[in-house]
Amino acid sequence: MTYSRLAGTGGYLPEKVLTNAELEKMVDTTDAWIRERTGIHKRHVAADDETTCDLAEHAARRAIEAAALNAGEIDLIIVATTTPDQIFPSTACLLQQRLDIHGCPAFDVQAVCTGFIYALGIADKFIRAGSARNALVIGAETLSRIVDWTDRKTCVLFGDGAGAVVLQASATPGILSTHLHADGQYGALLQVPTGVSKRATEDGDSYPYMEMQGNEIFKIAVNTLGRIVDETLAANDMTQADVDWLVPHQANQRIIAATAKKLKLPEDHVVMTVQEHGNTSAASVPLALDVAIRDGRIRRGETVLLEAFGGGLTWGSALLRY
Ligand code: ACO
């Protein structure tokens, strides 16, 4: 039996920082409101000439190095992103070229904030099926490009970044299980209403900006993430006590706290990086995972629950033994 295990991680945040104090000058908001309602202190914003692929490349190179591999040994590339550089080629193909890798499958996955969990689930299945041995799985976003910087309800929440992992074939797990879900009936609660095929909204607004009914999303997220914790533990015949670490999607400190409560996990076993970079969508889980592995909190042999929730609506989890 072949499993997949985490061989290396990497993360990257663009240099430019946008603080809550700076946002106070742009929209009618306060540092106190943003901290209290979301936990966010600042976010990173890509430079004008910096793209999602640029961020992905930094994170990918760090993950490949941490896995002690050469780029040429990578035989699958999946990039989870909602903000690809171009309509096509996919960001995964652009990245493949940057890394001078040729021939292996490379494709993007679009599941908004759950994108990395989807990509991880797919890569795990490739490896278990014997179709790949060293998969590069990335979440990378330049959400700043689809944020309406005049809308205080959304612009304070999001940021840019990239996180990456190398998943490697192994005789022992690794990834214990992945759980992927979607329900399109709630799609309009969190959306960019225009795109390639649908060019303009009914009111004629043609620029693609994010719209969110935050309050509704908040309630659904808390309930859904509670359910997926139960589903994940049941699938592995485990209880809350078996989980050492929660690495959640970094959207809102209060949503994270609710999931941690469900798991009865003390705060110091929950990896929280949302204060540093806001909601970076598909990049958020691998960014947080990378931080906690590099600073030594998550150690080999420990059990880690990853979860995410986002537009679609989509949600998912992965349980792994590091
Ligand atoms: N500064 C000051 N006041 C604000 C701001 C702001 N930046 N934004 C909203 N407000 C006001 C509202 O206008 C409202 O005022 P009113 O009562 O006079 O109408 C008041 O604050 C409360 O607004 P709510 O929306 O009820 O605030 P809430 O406590 O729900 O917090 C938030 C809003 C932070 C957006 C929260 O609902 C949330 O985090 N939602 C979930 C976001 C999420 O997880 N999304 C999923 C992933 S994202 C993805 O997939 C791309």
188 and 236 together in one domain? yes
162 and 307 together in one domain? no
Nearest CA to ligand 1 atom 14: 153
What does the pLDDT average to over 104-121?
A: 98
Nearest CA to ligand 1 atom 39: 252
- Which letter, b or e, does each residue of 134-148 get, where b requires 16 or more Cβ atoms within 10 Å of its Cβ? bbbbbbbbbbbebbb
Nearest CA to ligand 1 atom 9: 153
Ligand 1 within 6 A of CB of 221: yes
Ligand 1 within 6 A of CB of 149: no
20 and 122 together in one domain? yes
Ligand 1 within 6 A of CB of 152: yes
Ligand 1 within 6 A of CB of 29: yes
Quote helix, strand, coil % in the chain, to nearest 5: 40, 25, 35
Nearest CA to ligand 1 atom 1: 29
The residues, any chain, with a CB within 8 Å of residue 218's CB and separated by 6 or more, are: 252, 254, 255
Residues 74/168, Cβ–Cβ less than 8 Å: no
152 and 206 together in one domain? no
Instruction: Look at residue 203 and tell me whether its pLDDT is greater than 70.
Output: no
Q: According to the model, what pLDDT value does residue 200 have?
A: 67
30 and 157 together in one domain? yes
For the domain that residue 61 is a member of, what is the CATH number? 3.40.47.10
Dist. CA 210 → ligand 1 center (Å): 14
Q: How far apart are CA 164 and CA 8, in angstroms?
A: 8
Dist. CA 38 → ligand 1 center (Å): 8
Last residue of a domain, which of 125, 148, 172? 172
First to last CA, the chain: 18
pLDDT 10s digits, 150-171: 999 999 999 999 999 999 999 9
What domain range includes position 272? 176-321
Q: How far apart are CA 133 and CA 137, in angstroms?
A: 12
Q: pLDDT band at 50, cuts 50/70/90?
A: very high
297 and 204 together in one domain? yes
Q: How far apart are CA 29 and CA 20, in angstroms?
A: 9
Last residue of a domain, which of 107, 137, 172? 172
185 and 300 together in one domain? yes
Asked whether the CA dihedral 290, 292, 297, 301 is positive or negative, the reply is negative
143 and 202 together in one domain? no
Q: How far apart are CA 318 and CA 229, in angstroms?
A: 10
Residues 156/34, Cβ–Cβ less than 8 Å: yes
Last residue of a domain, which of 131, 147, 172? 172
- Its pTM stands at 0.96
Q: How far apart are CA 27 and CA 25, in angstroms?
A: 6
What does the pLDDT average to over 5-25?
A: 98
Dist. CA 50 → ligand 1 center (Å): 29
Nearest CA to ligand 1 atom 35: 214
Ligand 1 within 6 A of CB of 311: yes
Enzyme catalytic residues: 113, 249, 279
70 and 202 together in one domain? no
208 and 160 together in one domain? no
| Coil, strand or helix at 71 | helix
Q: How far apart are CA 312 and CA 188, in angstroms?
A: 8
What does the pLDDT average to over 93-112?
A: 98
Residues 298/322, Cβ–Cβ less than 8 Å: yes
Which helix (H) or strand (E) segment holds residue 223: the answer is helix 214-235
63 and 134 together in one domain? yes
Residue 127: both structure tokens together: 């490896």
Work out whether strand 314-321 and strand 175-182 pair parallel, antiparallel, or are unpaired: antiparallel
Q: Which atom of ligand 1 is nearest to the CA of 155?
A: 7
Dist. CA 153 → ligand 1 center (Å): 5
What does the pLDDT average to over 17-31?
A: 97
Looking at the chain, the whole-number percentage of residues with pLDDT higher than 70 is 98
Most ligand 1 atoms within 8 A of CB, residue of 218, 275, 284 to mutate: 218
Ligand 1 within 6 A of CB of 24: no
202 and 77 together in one domain? no
Nearest CA to ligand 1 atom 22: 215
Ligand 1 within 6 A of CB of 259: no
Residue 278: both structure tokens together: 């806001």
Residues 106/56, Cβ–Cβ less than 8 Å: no
Ligand 1 within 6 A of CB of 313: no
The residues, any chain, with a CB within 8 Å of residue 66's CB and separated by 6 or more, are: 7, 8, 9, 10, 166
pLDDT 10s digits, 266-316: 889 999 999 999 999 999 999 999 999 999 999 999 999 999 999 999 999
Residues 300/320, Cβ–Cβ less than 8 Å: no
Number of domains in the chain: 2
Ligand 1 within 6 A of CB of 310: yes
Angstrom CA distances, 148 to 58, 144, 192, stand at 27, 8, 11
